[in-house]
Structure 1
Amino acid sequence: MAVSKIWKVTVRLDQVIDYATNPEKTAAKEYSPEQYQALADVLQYAKDEEKTEREFYVGGINCNASTARDQFVTVKEQFDKCDGIQAYHGYLSFKDEPNITPELAQQIGTEFAKRVWGDRFQVVVTTHLNTKHLHCHFVVNSVSFVDGKRMQNNEKHWRYFRHIADELCRQHQLDVIENPKRGTGKNYYARKLHEAGMPNYVDSAKAVIDEAISKSNSYADFKYILRQMGATFDDSPNHKYQVLRVKGYQKNIRLTRLGDDYSLERIKERIYGNRNRVKLEPFQKGYYYRPKQYVLLTREHKIRKVGGLYGLYLHYCYKLGYLPKYQKQNPARLHYLLREDLMKLDQITAQVRLLGREHISTSEQLFSYKSKVEDEIKTLTADRTHLRNEIRKVNTDDDLLSGKKQQISALSERLKELRKEVRLCDGIAERSGVMRENLNAVLADEEKIKNNRKENRDYEYRR
């Protein structure tokens, strides 16, 4: 069974209007017709007779399903919160199996809605029978009838209540997805471009890999040809995924997203298969073999290619005397603007390692990484809260209790690391501007000293 995300209803939605009838418009004086109609449409869609067997599988929690729209509006007017989001619409989908029936689906949906929203909100629960899989629809008032407060994050995000849905399914001997995977499908935008015959980064990445493989006889040749084509390929064993960035695109793509034929093992197999090919070339008189000339990269070349935030930090560490490692640090020759940061070398070092490890070069990449870490923190926090609630139950087995405590400890350690990453991101965003100002001031002073020395040499020469 899977729980979808809950989406908000503010004005009339096309996908709801297609299935809705035209109910009588009786909007209140301070209630706009669009908001009133949006609430009517989503309720009418959830109670569609063709999908619910003439409303046999329709119920209400803290409200009457037949007059739910007016009761929703009454609560909003009572607390003077008629604007903004009118309701939340969600569904609970069940796997096609013999144990599930419409009556059981409606029962599970009602129990689920009572445990999640029943204490504070009005909910309409229906079961639709018009698709292959039975699924329950929920229409939840956005304003609580208890205290007039709007729905909070933990009441409208699936990560906080998916454990309740799994627990109810287990109680009724239904299958449960133990480790749900999110975001593994092909990119929707890229798929639509592919269907329309337009270029996209997925097809471009496949074409680049295919061309590089066709010209390679070894894995080293493959990587070299990718560089010649302007692509950036990262196959570091220290990273979890191998990623490729094609010239003309600013986004990395994992090889695992391209299909089985583009995994690292499969790419090597295709390259090694080229060794058995026989190349027949026409004889050319006076043919002269020109050996390939390779330019060995030096430290200067590597440093010159580094830019963005990571390059800024490396340059700053160089000015602090922290880099290169083989040179001894001399604080006496350090510029006065940089001496204070010598006491913060541990923080700066941790920030440099984060930028290098995650290949962060711009502020957009930094904030994107921070957002990803914060989402993982929310998910792990919800999992830990659920485990803590489980160990408080009476008559819990000792072995099970010990296992859950170990899981809580592991989650806490992981959360500690993630929160440290967030603090590092905040520190980078705050410190990068100060670094640029200090470096500009240092460079200006060095240029001034250089000009003064040149003037002194000229003066001595004229004497």
Structure 2
Amino acid sequence: RFQVLVATHMNTDNLHNHFVINSVSYVDGKKYEQRRSQYAEFRAASDKLCREYGLSVVEQPKAKEPARYARMREAIDQACEDASTAEDFHRSLYRQRYIFGSDPNRRYATIRARDGGRAVRLYRLGEEYDLAAIDDRLRGNYLLYGAGLYERKHPPRQYTPKRYRSKDTYAGKGVLQIFFEVFFGESQMHRLYLYYCYQLGILPKKQQPHINRPELERIWKDTERILAEHAFVHDHKFPSLQAIVDYRKGLSRQIDALAAQRAEIVKQMRRKDASPKLADRRAMLTCKIAELRKEDKIAEGAIKRIQRTRESNRIDQENRNQHTNNKTRSRDSSRQR
């Protein structure tokens, strides 16, 4: 119903098509209404025509699998090695911080992390990790090891009852000695006494170490920048601050010249008969410009750091001189007295 012109852009690195549509139908005169879903229809129609006439078709690359899928597979493999029943399989996954869902009222079994995140259906992990394959592996473990495989690999902790003080502990001791043992010895009363001292603020509470990771990362980046600036000044052996300024001016001229060359190459690439080597030259110039800009940024940081150091040294020297003058004046005044 609508007239469409397909134009292919071939003078860029990204090969793509443009669709020019006559919005008025030549059949019934109605206006074309565009929907978002029609982009896929345009692409399918274009690919169909390309295949009919033997032209190349750009295939859609497969999406990269999330990294959490591999961790889920490892957790399921470990659970299948440790368990021989469905209950032990759930316990093993829960021990590895995963929750396994196999509700019979639901169509698919799922697995998800205990700390949050969306559940993943087992068939997305592969055929070896669907519910039937897991049941077969658990059944094989049950035939070989029985129902107590998980307890043998992960035995429960043994409970050891506390030893209480015997009745004749304080026999033959004075009242003062018993008082010090109760309140200042290793006893439950002493622990209770310390607990309330901490709660009331009489004894200071032990502060937990706090690691400020963003601050550490900022300090590390500053350290890397300072080392780069020192290496830059040391390698070029600048005799003075003005030499760094002049060197930076030369970098600016080189960057401008390379940028002009790259702009000229970009103009040449827009032509129909452009050489394919122009793209490589443009990429090479881009890399050179990036390196020069990085060096220019390091030089700028070195200049600012030297200026700040000189200013701080000047202020320290003035303070030192002022302190010396004050001491001299006080000494002279004391002599006059």
TM-score by length of 2: 0.31
Which structure: larger Rg?
2
Higher helix fraction: Structure 1 or Structure 2?
Answer: 2
